[in-house]
């Protein structure tokens, strides 16, 4: 049936599905990008109980809730259909994002503010867990068998484009309103704006028809009565769920999060790059690499999904440490010669009193410009004590701006990492769709996908930081987590997965 | 290849409990390093979430290893009729 679908219709299907998924990712990312401002506005300054809620809202919803969303909405998708389920996830995601923008500040309603944020964040996580499986299944079930990878790869681009859109809208809003107004109330605009995008997307999705394969199942009365039981209680199917998780999505999750998120955090927190520089590097890298989602998705239609995904994992295993070593070496400004320095500009010395003490903190800051166009700030914070005199603090070098050639070298290194993301992520929707039968596909594919992405991928920053805290650890030690998980997934995938594509998913 | 699949199954079976033991020890270690009550409660909460979510995954890895050891992955289904 799908093979006979007119070409313009398949593009409508892709457009409607991708737009909704893009909005879901946009909604999910703006919270992360604005977490600090939200923390100031909606959480009390003195931490207390709300620090726990804050931890849960930011830490837990990011990964713990998504697999549950996959189960809840996957089951619904296999019971009532793909179209209405992922319409529901869109409404839930857009609605909760909109309401986060409306929550009165902590000063107005007290602890109700952080509790409301937590509830809405959990709804966001659940909705995201349900969205992807629906969109990927819906597109795949419309696509011709020889273009399934190509068409579903458009869905794969939306996670990256959602990040782009969220950063873009935040930057534009902040520039128009100014930093102070943005911090005061302007941060609400990206949240409120979400409702416009959602209404447009709902309108488009409402006009779409149910997936032809699901409609056929329904007409024949073959819809699953209990998708959860049939997915996970049926040994033959459960075996494939486990294989999908350990042989593909687990490795894909860590490669994705390392390339797009850990890289930025490493540049900013470990290499101490300037805020704008680290973001521009990432944005350029993503912009150049995004088309390759479609390239690898389409290529997987010809050569199979398995080896493209596993090659992405292998390249990550081999090149992560050399790449991050280069990041460290090129931002090491400790060995600069006096002749390299163009100018040294001291900033006014600032001094603040330490609460409940007569001591104060004195900050001495100096901006150093180098002849090659690079610059950095040297900041030293000393404790000035009435009884012990001046206790000298450690000098910190931060806000590093790179010379142009190094900047573009870093863009190239990020591009390479995102290219690996496109290799592991581009073909995976088609791969998962082909692994499971139509009547339990939404449920069966959503769970391994969200455990792989949400849990294994989402934990990259946490576990990498944890490993870096071990005694004897170096700044590169955190990479052993994604390298280890990708290596495990590579071995399992190479030995147990088949490269053969299932041409008939109409079963 | 099927022999390799079987023997690797043993490794996956062992890896599950090993991972859980490692995570559990880390949890105790990191909670012990906290200084304030609030910090301790937050760390316990984070680690409880991690242990809660990784326990079923480790069990899954053991089951995967068991299936591999029993030769269940020697032949992968080629159509939905086999599922």
Identify whether B15 is part of a domain: yes
Q: Model confidence over A217-252: pLDDT tens digits?
A: 888 887 888 888 888 888 888 999 999 999 999 999
Are B49 and A437 within 8 A, CB to CB? no
Are A495 and B8 within 8 A, CB to CB? yes
Q: Model confidence over A84-135: pLDDT tens digits?
A: 888 898 899 889 999 999 999 888 998 898 889 889 988 988 988 888 888 8
| Shortest distance, CA A249 to any CA of chain B (angstroms) | 13
Identify whether B77 is part of a domain: no
Contact A136, A432 (CB under 8 A): yes
Q: Is A321 on the interface with B (CB under 8 A)?
A: no
Contact A417, A282 (CB under 8 A): no
Q: What percent of chain A has pLDDT over 90?
A: 36
Q: What is the DSSP track for A310-332? A: HHHHHHHHHHHHHHHHHHHHHT-
pLDDT at A12: 84
Half-sphere exposure of A277 (CA within 13 A, CB side): 24
| pTM across the whole model | 0.88
Q: Is A63 on the interface with B (CB under 8 A)?
A: yes
**ipTM value:** 0.92
Contact B42, B31 (CB under 8 A): no
Identify whether B76 is part of a domain: no
pLDDT at A506: 66
- Residue A68: which residues within 8 A CB-CB, separation 6 or more? A126, A129
**Which residue in chain B is spatially nearest to A448 when comparing CA positions?**
B57
Contact B69, B13 (CB under 8 A): yes
- Rounded to 5°, angle at Cα B50 from B44 and B52: 95
Residues of B with CB below 8 A from A235's CB?
72
pLDDT at A233: 86
Identify whether B17 is part of a domain: yes
Chain A segment 178-237 residues within 8 A of B by beta carbon are 234-237
Are B76 and A498 within 8 A, CB to CB? yes
Are B57 and A455 within 8 A, CB to CB? yes
| Domain span including residue B63 | 2-71
Are B72 and A239 within 8 A, CB to CB? yes
Cα–Cα distance, B44 to B48 (Å, whole number):
6
Are A63 and B78 within 8 A, CB to CB? no
**Which residue in chain A is spatially nearest to B60 when comparing CA positions?**
A242
Cα–Cα distance, A383 to A26 (Å, whole number):
43
Contact A289, A418 (CB under 8 A): yes
Residue A344, phi then psi, degrees to nearest 5: -130, 120
Chain A segment 456-475 residues within 8 A of B by beta carbon are 459, 462, 466
Contact A456, A254 (CB under 8 A): yes
pLDDT at A476 over 80: yes
Contact B1, B58 (CB under 8 A): no
Q: Model confidence over A330-344: pLDDT tens digits?
A: 999 887 888 888 999
pLDDT at A59 over 80: no
Q: Which residue has the higher pLDDT, B49 or A318?
A: A318
pLDDT at A1 over 50: no
Cα–Cα distance, A472 to A272 (Å, whole number):
21
Q: Is B1 on the interface with A (CB under 8 A)?
A: yes
| Mean pLDDT of the residues in chain A | 87
| Shortest distance, CA B83 to any CA of chain A (angstroms) | 5
- Tell me which DSSP letter residue A111 carries: T
Q: Model confidence over A174-203: pLDDT tens digits?
A: 889 988 899 899 999 999 998 988 888 888
Identify whether B79 is part of a domain: no
pLDDT at A35 over 60: yes
Identify whether B66 is part of a domain: yes
Identify whether B45 is part of a domain: yes
- Residue A472: which residues within 8 A CB-CB, separation 6 or more? none
Q: Is A58 on the interface with B (CB under 8 A)?
A: no
Cα–Cα distance, A164 to A166 (Å, whole number):
6
Which residue's entry shows tokens 């950063």?
A167
Q: Which of B7, B77, B81 to mutate to test the interface with A (most CBs of A within 10 A)?
A: B77
Contact A384, A362 (CB under 8 A): yes
* Residue from the list B45, B57, B81 with its beta carbon closest to the beta carbon of A451: B57
Average pLDDT over residues B24-52: 85
Look at chain B and report how many structural domains it folds into.
Answer: 1
Residues of A with CB below 8 A from B70's CB?
none
Identify whether B80 is part of a domain: no
Cα–Cα distance, A88 to A289 (Å, whole number):
31
Q: Which of A433, A454, A481, A492 to mutate to test the interface with B (most CBs of B within 10 A)?
A: A492
The neighbouring-strand residues paired with A385 are A389
**Which residue in chain A is spatially nearest to B81 when comparing CA positions?**
A507
């Amino acid at each position: 049936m799908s093979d006979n679908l007119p070409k313009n219709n398949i593009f409508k299907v892709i457009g409607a599905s991708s737009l909704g998924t893009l909005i879901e990712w946009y909604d999910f990312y703006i919270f992360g990008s604005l977490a600090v401002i939200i923390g100031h506005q909606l959480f009390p300054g003195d931490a207390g109980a709300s620090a726990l809620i804050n931890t849960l809202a930011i830490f837990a919803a990011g990964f713990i809730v998504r697999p549950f969303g996959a189960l809840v909405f996957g089951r619904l998708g296999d019971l009532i259909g793909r179209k209405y389920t992922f319409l529901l996830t869109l409404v839930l995601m857009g609605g909760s994002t909109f309401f986060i923008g409306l929550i009165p500040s902590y000063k107005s309603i007290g602890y109700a503010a952080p509790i409301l944020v937590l509830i809405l964040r959990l709804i966001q996580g659940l909705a995201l867990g349900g969205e992807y499986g629906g969109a990927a299944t819906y597109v795949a079930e419309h696509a011709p068998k020889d273009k399934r990878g190509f068409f579903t790869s458009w869905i794969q681009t939306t996670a990256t484009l959602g990040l782009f859109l969220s950063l873009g809208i935040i930057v534009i809003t902040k520039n128009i309103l100014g930093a102070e107004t943005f911090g005061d109330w302007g941060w609400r605009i990206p949240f409120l704006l979400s409702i416009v995008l959602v209404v447009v997307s709902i309108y488009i999705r409402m006009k779409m028809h149910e997936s032809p394969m699901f409609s056929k199942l329904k007409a024949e009365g073959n819809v699953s009565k209990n998708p959860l039981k049939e997915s996970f209680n049926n040994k033959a199917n459960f075996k494939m769920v486990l294989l999908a998780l350990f042989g593909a999505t687990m490795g894909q999750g860590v490669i994705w999060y390392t390339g797009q998120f850990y890289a930025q955090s490493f540049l900013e927190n470990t290499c101490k790059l300037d805020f704008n520089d680290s973001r521009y590097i990432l944005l350029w890298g993503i912009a150049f690499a995004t088309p390759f989602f479609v390239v690898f998705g389409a290529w997987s239609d010809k050569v199979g999904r398995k080896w493209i995904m596993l090659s992405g994992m292998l390249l990550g295993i081999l090149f992560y440490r050399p790449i991050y070593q280069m990041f460290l070496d090129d931002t090491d400004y400790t060995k600069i010669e006096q002749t390299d320095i163009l100018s040294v500009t001291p900033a006014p010395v600032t001094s603040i009193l330490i609460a409940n003490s007569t001591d104060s903190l004195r900050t001495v800051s100096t901006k150093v410009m180098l002849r090659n166009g690079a610059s950095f700030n040297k900041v030293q914070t000393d404790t000035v004590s009435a009884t012990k005199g001046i206790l000298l603090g450690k000098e910190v070098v931060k806000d590093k701006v790179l010379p142009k050639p190094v900047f573009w070298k870093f863009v190239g290194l990020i591009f390479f990492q995102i290219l690996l993301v496109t290799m592991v992520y581009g073909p995976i929707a088609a791969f998962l769709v082909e692994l499971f039968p139509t009547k339990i596909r939404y449920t069966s594919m959503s769970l391994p996908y969200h455990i792989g992405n949400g849990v294994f991928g989402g934990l990259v920053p946490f576990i990498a930081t944890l490993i870096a805290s071990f005694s004897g650890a170096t700044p590169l030690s955190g990479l052993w987590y994604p390298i280890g998980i990708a290596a495990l997934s590579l071995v399992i995938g190479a030995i147990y997965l088949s490269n053969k594509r299932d041409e008939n998913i109409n079963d | 290849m099927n022999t390799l699949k079987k023997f690797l199954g043993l490794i996956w079976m062992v890896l599950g409990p090993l991972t859980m033991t490692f995570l559990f020890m880390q949890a105790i270690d990191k909670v012990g390093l906290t200084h304030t009550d609030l910090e301790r409660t937050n760390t316990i909460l984070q680690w409880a979430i991690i242990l809660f979510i990784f326990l079923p995954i480790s069990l899954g890895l053991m089951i995967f290893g068991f299936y591999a050891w029993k030769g269940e992955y020697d032949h992968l289904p080629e159509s939905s009729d086999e599922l």
